[in-house]
Amino acid sequence: MNYQEIIVSRKQEFGSRLAILGHHYQSDSIINYVDHVGDSLELARTIGQLDAEHIVFCGVWFMAESAAILKREGQKIHTPEPNATCTMAEMAQAMTVRKVLKILRGTGRNIIPLTYVNSTAGVKAVVGEMGGAVCTSANARTMLSWAMDQGDGVLFLPDKHLAYNTGSAIGIPVAKRILVDIVNPTDDDDATLFMWPGYCPVHDMYIDADVARARRDDPDALIVVHPECPASVVEAVDANGSTAFIIDYVAEAPDGTTIYVGTESNLVNRLAKEYAGRKTIKHLDAGYCEDMAKVTVEKLGDLLSRLETAVPVETEQSIVIPARLALQRMLDACA
């Protein structure tokens, strides 16, 4: 049997005892086999609703790790490639987050940490312990407003672009937002939004010239990007939002529209295929997430072939409890 046949046969054999989840940035070769496809928020919400004993998460490590934190007793979370780490998530380490937060709170101000779901479980645990929460790109505005209401300011991590763009969206003055120097942090009584200096290498590469070129080539076209893109790009385009938002934006555009999409190329290619002949979907620029691409059909087939004995994703209990608190605060605030 080849790997494709193994996947089909093991899915039949396990039936409802197995659920395969996949992020929108996975390749079509994986998406063909998933039971639930979604953005980070949709997939996190799905975990609590699944009855399957085995949940296979096709995405990057922090997504499988978050699923393992949210899973119910008796469920097992697996991932075909545990080494598919998210480059942005690795830009914030738990010890540094704790140290920076302590310094920002040095003058007695209650600075609330808000971590993007693209972060390690250790970072989520520090955030949960310090009264903060998780957010995704789909609910960043709601969660930043929530965090602002809990204290005197917010430390948003790890993505500086999502922090800045979300600050703009909810009207935090530019003068109140500062990029944190994580090597020599200093508190700043005037700032209310402290932005960690992380970024996504896939989205950080979009530049103003990409927008200018699209406007010049197709003056009637719409442009939509992910909010992990730099602020100057986000401010120059027609709309920005999570992967689920981008999918809806394309769906709602009238037939005949040309839409440039600035996000990971697997999703853009899928949209182009889906709307071929009705709408023209173009890459604002092409960029693949190398980490997402580490999940392959071979690795999925291999995992399914030995699922009964595969070691599930587990996180230390001392991390699970505060990290779950941070995730649960998000799910409750956005229920």
Stretch that binds ligand SF4, among 9-17, 101-109, 182-190, 285-293 (CB under 6 A): 285-293
Alpha helices in the chain (DSSP H): 3-14, 28-31, 40-47, 61-70, 94-104, 121-129, 140-150, 160-169, 208-217, 231-236, 243-252, 265-274, 297-305, 317-333
Instruction: Give the whole-angstrom CA distance, residue 148 versus residue 154.
Output: 6
Q: Is 27 in the site for ligand 13P (CB under 6 A)?
A: no
Binding-site partner at residue 87 among ligand SF4, ligand 13P, none, CB < 5 to 8 Å by type: ligand SF4
Q: How many residues sit in the footprint of ligand 13P (CB under 6 A)? A: 10
Our CB check for ligand 13P shows the closer of 4 and 85 to be 85
Q: Scanning residues 166 to 225, which ones bind ligand 13P (CB under 6 A)?
A: 200
317 Cβ contact partners less than 8 Å away, ≥ 6 residues apart:
none
138 binds ligand SF4 (CB under 6 A): no
Q: According to the binding rule CB under 6 A, does residue 228 interact with ligand 13P?
A: yes
Residue nearest to ligand 13P (CB): 39
Q: Should residue 118 be labelled a site residue for ligand SF4 when binding is judged by CB under 6 A?
A: yes
**Applying CB under 6 A, which of residues 146, 291, 307, 329 lies at the interface with ligand SF4?**
291
Burial of 141 (0-12, 13-18, 19+ CB in 10 A): middle
Piece in contact with ligand 13P (CB under 6 A), picked from 103-111, 134-142, 270-278, 295-303? 134-142
Q: Using the rule CB under 6 A, give the single segment among 119-127, 164-172, 195-203, 325-333 that binds ligand SF4.
A: 195-203
Q: Please, which of residues 30-59 interact with ligand 13P by CB under 6 A?
A: 39-40
Distance in Å from the first CA to the final CA of the chain: 44
b/e 16-50 (16+ beta carbons within 10 angstroms → b): eebbbbbbbbbbeebbebbbebbbbbbbbbbbeeb
Site residues for ligand 13P per CB under 6 A = 39-40, 118, 136-138, 200, 228, 242-243
